[in-house]
Chain A
Amino acid sequence: EVQMLESGGDLVQPGGSLRLSCAASGFTFSSYAMSWVRQAPGKGLEWVSIIYGSDGSTYYADSVKGRFTISRDDSKNTVYLQMNSLRGEDTAVYYCARAIGGGLVIYFDNWGQGTLVTVSS
């Protein structure tokens, strides 16, 4: 069974940093692209970032470019999201999702349960 388990969400002050982790199981992790999608309280879904397993290429939404960094450790079946210079508008549940496709022409076939990031003083 494909599973993703996110962790690392917390309350952080504006300007602060946080690292999210997503541990995957039930599939050949290195063969798949992994992505982060977020959902602000009471709002819709927003794609954040993706990292490919084949060549490690990464893409980011404009709203997080230059502040967030996605990475992966295939030996640990884990994908990370390093979030710096956090803002109030980054407050959201962050979901880890397995991505199917190429470039940014993708869809998300399996999702984790999410981890909550709150940016507030």
Chain B
Amino acid sequence: QSVLTQPPSVSGAPGQRVTISCTGGSSNIGADHDVHWYQQLPGTAPKLLIYDNTNRPSGVPDRFSGSKSGTSASLAITGLQAEDEADYYCQSYDSSLSGSLFGGGTKLTVL
């Protein structure tokens, strides 16, 4: 079980809005460490989607947004498209474990 907890799966219809949560604790997200998000399309390498909680790298559509509050962070995807079907991972630093950690990942299905 990951220190950063994500729902195993979420789903939504095209055009809808979905959110993926990443729940941590007082030694990672709650300690004000930044959260980053990655998208992994089937059979491909991960791709940076959101960094430092809310920032999008160049080329990432503004349909993707990140937020953080307390010991949790969230990734929101609006205007869901078929091409968004992928695995999504959150990542942060944990000061108790002295390591960079990933959440367990969430599989997004576009219905």
- B-contacting residues of A (Cβ < 8 Å)? 37, 44-47, 50, 61-62, 95, 100, 104-114
B interface size (C-beta, 8 A): 25
**Inter-chain contact A107/B51, CB cutoff 8 Å:** yes
Any chain A CB within 8 A of the CB of B2?
Answer: yes
In the assembled complex, how far is the CB of residue A67 from the closest CB belonging to chain B, in whole angstroms? 16
Contacts of A107 in B (CB 8 A): 34, 36, 48, 51-52, 91
Contacts of A108 in B (CB 8 A): 36, 38, 46, 48, 91
Contacts of A111 in B (CB 8 A): 45-48
Q: Report the Cα distance A23→B29, complex, angstroms.
A: 33
**Inter-chain contact B45/A95, CB cutoff 8 Å:** yes
Known: A100-B51, A105-B93. A47 touches B102 (CB 8 A): yes
Partner among B2, B57, B98 whose Cβ is within 8 Å of the Cβ of A44: B2
